[in-house]
Amino acid sequence: MSVLKIKDLHVSVGDKEILKGVNLTINTGEVHALLGPNGNGKSTLLSAIMGHPAYSVTKGSITLDDEDVLAMSVDERSRKGLFLGMQYPQSIPGVTNSDFLKAAINARREEPIRLFQFIKKLDKAIDELEMNEDLAHRYLNEGFSGGEKKRNEILQMKLLEPKFALLDEIDSGLDVDALRIVSESINNMRNDDLGMVIVSHYDRLYENIRPTHVHILVDGQIVVDGGYELIKKVNEEGFEWVKELGVTFK
Ligand code: ADP
Ligand code: MG
Ligand code: MG
């Protein structure tokens, strides 16, 4: 079992403090839902775990099996098994999706993957995600629709087989069928060697995936922890009730 542990994490963007002491422990085998009103720091948390340079950690720690994640480069974090499925995937003109995926896989192996094996894996994943085959040979995310970009993040996750996957609004912009395909695909990847953090605004994804743990992040702190029942409560009542717990909102 692996453990990703976040302790008293403070993160700033420029001179603005966004995260104000986040505590969160994720074991492999668990699926954590991260909820919260917009602009309160969910993406900031996931980006800081992955090491995005815009987010500076001013206090606290992130460890992966007792190793200091904050001391690692983004590449190292990826090699150690962290993966971020982004809310706004970037396009890279000039680099094909398939070359990008191959490079990402090879960065994490001693020996480069054999082309035949790579193509087999890629074809299988594209098939499972019911993606258009030509997306593999187009430039990464260039001209992809919103839904295609999101599916492509899941495609990367499938091929990279991370230990911890952080999925940021992976379902936004997906139609009903795509949402079903993506959530089935995430469910199929569930196993004792994978931990996940899933940010979504929609009940539908969580209904299909049934997270084991649920957290509500408000104004840079996790203020409520619970189980699936929290998702139903938020779905019915929004976040207003959290205020009554004495939490100040943005
Ligand atoms: P959420 O994902 O919960 O909607 P974010 O983490 O994206 O919230 O944003 C939290 C706050 O941090 C917001 O006020 C947002 O404007 C600010 N913020 C996040 N990323 C950046 C950035 N790269 N540059 C400037 N401000 C940012
Ligand atoms: Mg947001
Ligand atoms: Mg966000």
Q: How far is residue 198's CA from residue 37's CA, in Å, rounded to a whole number?
A: 15
In a domain, 61, yes or no: yes
Instruction: Check: pTM over 0.80? Answer yes or no.
Output: yes
Percent of the chain with pLDDT over 90: 76
In a domain, 20, yes or no: yes
Q: How far is residue 222's CA from residue 211's CA, in Å, rounded to a whole number?
A: 17
Question: What pLDDT, on the 0 to 100 scale, is given for residue 64?
Answer: 98
In a domain, 137, yes or no: no
The residues, any chain, with a CB within 8 Å of residue 147's CB and separated by 6 or more, are 173, 174, 175, 178
Q: How far is the CA of 119 from the centre of ligand 2 (A)?
A: 35
CATH number at residue 32: 3.40.50.300
In a domain, 28, yes or no: yes
In a domain, 178, yes or no: yes
In a domain, 31, yes or no: yes
Question: What pLDDT, on the 0 to 100 scale, is given for residue 90?
Answer: 84
Average of per-residue pLDDT across 72-77: 94
Q: Are strands 82-85 and 164-168 parallel, antiparallel or unpaired?
A: parallel
Q: How far is residue 14's CA from residue 12's CA, in Å, rounded to a whole number?
A: 6
pLDDT tens digits along 31-60: 999 999 999 999 999 999 999 999 999 999
Looking at the structure of the chain, the number of domains it has is: 1
Mutate to test the pocket of ligand 1, among 43, 90, 249 (most ligand atoms within 8 A of CB): 43
Name the residue range of residue 208's domain.
3-89+162-243
In a domain, 60, yes or no: yes
In a domain, 203, yes or no: yes
Q: How far is the CA of 198 from the centre of ligand 3 (A)?
A: 11
- CA angle at residue 71 from 65 to 73, to 5 degrees? 100
User: Of 38, 20, 42, whose CA–CA distance to 214 is shortest?
Assistant: 42
Regarding an ipTM greater than 0.90, the answer is yes
